[in-house]
Structure 1
Amino acid sequence: MNTGVKITVFAAALAATFGTAYGVGAAIDPAAADQDSAAHSEHDRPAPAGHGGHGGHGDPTPAGLQVSEAGYTLDLKTSRVTAGVKSELHFAIRDRDGRQVTSYRREHGKELHLILASRDLVTYRHLHPTRAADGTWSTPVDLPAAGAYRVFADFTPDAENATNLTLGADLAASGAYRAPALPEPSATTTVDGYTVTLNGDLRPGKASELTLGVSRDGRPVTDLEPYLGAYGHLVALRSGDLAYLHVHPNGEPGDGATKPGPEVSFTATAPSAGTYRLFLDFQHNGTVRTAAFTVRTGEAAPGSASKPTAGEEHTGSNHQH
């Protein structure tokens, strides 16, 4: 693309998330509250063929790694907060002339979706900020642990020829930091008494079906409620750089074919081999819950059967992860 793309280069003490800035393993060190502001460097890359944040195929750069793209910039006005203290996060989207954007296309019931995740992929938030008339967005946040976080803004400007974008910026939470280990891959997880099971194999550079089944007290949940226009929303983040993949489910409520559970299926393509954290948001009995999984592409984990995509021959062997 001709427009220079700015990518966030996190300050040295925060960029080394698992290094000496916060401590390694069981060591506990204070995270500095006065880290320097993130610097930005420019580089050129080809224009994307589709929006990687929503499962586009063949994108040269995964979504969420850049702070600016296609003439729009994520202006994160709150660059640091204090861990364990409720804070207000402020940000705006600016156009190529520096003006704050005030007009968006609604997608899944919202003008903008905000994802916040820790660099260690243990903490995850799907937030719904409010927009002021001048284009400034705000939302309360309460981060449980000190460390480095990434903020993703997923939106489509209401402008001619505008496409969906996911821009990312770094956020620091100060306090005593202990680096947690990423949970091991497993096909099953529990949240608030619900058991969620993952079937399918996340593949690098190739579309595959991921199916997540929800049960409670051993019984399948067949009355999932629509949440933001779907029975589930799935976000995948790559360990290391937090490349962002937001995949919408196959089918939607009211289409005459999609059932309200117990399974919600997605078609996803991993941008590369590696380790990912998958976060499923689903709603039942009026409450939204998030189920998290660790997935390594190309590796098996107990209890997960791989499902081929349409038109792909099934050999009969099971892929587990």
Structure 2
Amino acid sequence: MHTGLRITAFAAALAAAFGTAYGVGAGVDPIVANGAPAPHGGHGERDGASEEAPRPDEGGGHGGHQDTPAGGLQISEDGYTLDLATPRVTAGQRSELRFTVRDASGAAVTAYQREHDKELHLILASRDLVTYRHLHPTRAADGTWSTPVDLPAAGGYRVFADFTPAGKGAKNLTLGADLAASGRYEPARLPAPNSTARVDGYQVALAGSLRPGKASELKLTVSRDGEPVNDLQPYLGAYGHLVALRSGDLAYLHVHPNGEPCDGTTEPGPGISFTATAPSSGTYRLFLDFRHRGEVRTAAFTVRAGSVPGAAEPAPAGTPEHSGGHGH
């Protein structure tokens, strides 16, 4: 066994500064991390060659500049700040994650617009993109948000708060903050590119390409035991939710579903369509949350912006923890 490395918040920050890739992972609803995929728990692929993180000067696909803004890289934007009251937890132990969104005056924000049935969506991912969780914390009257978390491995994580403040003309924001999980740490490699993911007997196939600076369609098709799934259930107002994170700095992409349940044209499977624009060239992890037979599951993919998926073999079942925690 490898000698464990105890991570402190300071050590985690140093590692992130030197480009060390940690992991991304699981959540209270679905999660992705090392271990066999399970409903609301670890789904993923860990057997992959390590990926080199994209350099900041390699963004853009068009003359080397970044055409599309990336979210989650800033703790403050447009006068709003993510105040993370729990910057450190212990790996393998259940903890309460607490935070507040503050406005330009420093006051806690207590009014939000509801989007996809929630006032705020919280994404938690490890720096190595192996662990992923999509959580829905609870807001107290004073504006403090809280949610239970249980991170499977020590290392560096990124917390993303995706929300729209109440008020006319308010825009959607994604603010990010670093979180450290202390404990014995062993680095994980980014899973190899794949166009097929398997979780709990389901197979999800990815078609389409992620392009730098240009909108493109990504279509994910869900099947079970070789048969197409034609009765997906709505989850947070859609048949699927897709989050994309860039390897290296964990830039957060807003990925919008095309159509919604009961709009007269969108079918409940087997295909789920999204439109996405990559802010730069590089390697990304895609996390799809979908609901069937009452369970929310997460399928994860590694893709390179600008290349068409398909050459890679299906990801082995039981590696990264894609238990896309969907906390309520």
Partner of residue 246, structure 2 = 238
SS at match of 1:289: strand
Aligned partner of 1:18: which letter? T
- The yes-or-no answer on 1:263 pairing with 2:271 is yes
Matched-pair identity in %: 72
**For residues 306 and 111 of structure 2, what CA distance do their matches in structure 1 show?**
42
SS at match of 2:183: strand
- The yes-or-no answer on 1:217 pairing with 2:225 is yes
Partner of residue 253, structure 1 = 261
Partner of residue 201, structure 1 = 209
SS at match of 1:11: helix
Partner of residue 92, structure 1 = 100
**For residues 127 and 13 of structure 2, what CA distance do their matches in structure 1 show?**
14
Point out which structure has higher relative CO (alpha carbons under 8 A, 6+ apart).
2
Q: 1:157 aligns with which of 162, 165, 184?
A: 165
Partner of residue 175, structure 1 = 183
Shift of 1:101: 0.5
Partner of residue 313, structure 1 = none
- Asked which structure has the greater CA Rg, the reply is 1
- The yes-or-no answer on 1:115 pairing with 2:123 is yes
Shift of 1:301: 3.8
Q: 1:82 aligns with which of 84, 90, 100?
A: 90
Cα 1:13–1:300 shift into 2, 3 Å: closer
1:40-94 CA distances to partner (integer Å, 9 max, x unpaired)? xxxxxxxxxxxxxxxxx954x3111000011100000000000111110000100
Shift of 1:11: 3.0
* More moved, 64-73 vs 158-167: 158-167
TM-score normalized with structure 2 length? 0.76
**For residues 301 and 290 of structure 1, what CA distance do their matches in structure 2 show?**
19
Q: 1:104 aligns with which of 112, 118, 121?
A: 112
Aligned partner of 1:15: which letter? A
SS at match of 1:91: strand
Supply the RMSD in Å over aligned alpha carbons.
1.8
**For residues 257 and 21 of structure 2, what CA distance do their matches in structure 1 show?**
37
**For residues 156 and 191 of structure 1, what CA distance do their matches in structure 2 show?**
32
**For residues 288 and 15 of structure 1, what CA distance do their matches in structure 2 show?**
34
Partner of residue 34, structure 1 = none
1:292-312 CA distances to partner (integer Å, 9 max, x unpaired)? 0000123344369xxxxxxxx
Q: 1:202·1:208 contact (CA, 8 Å) conserved in 2?
A: yes
Aligned partner of 1:211: which letter? K
**For residues 244 and 19 of structure 1, what CA distance do their matches in structure 2 show?**
16
Q: 1:17·1:148 contact (CA, 8 Å) conserved in 2?
A: no
**TM superposition outliers: structure 1 runs of 4+ over 3 Å:** 13-17
Aligned partner of 2:278: which letter? A
Contiguous gaps of at least 5 residues in structure 2:
1-11, 23-65, 313-328
**For residues 231 and 93 of structure 2, what CA distance do their matches in structure 1 show?**
36
Aligned partner of 2:289: which letter? D
Aligned partner of 2:171: which letter? T
Shift of 1:162: 1.3
* More moved, 224-233 vs 155-164: 155-164
Aligned partner of 1:266: which letter? F
Q: 2:14 aligns with which of 9, 12, 15?
A: 12
**For residues 165 and 138 of structure 1, what CA distance do their matches in structure 2 show?**
19
Aligned partner of 1:171: which letter? L
Partner of residue 71, structure 2 = 63
Q: 2:13·2:156 contact (CA, 8 Å) conserved in 1?
A: no
Q: How does 1:129-168 map to 2 (within 5 A)?
A: 129-168=137-176
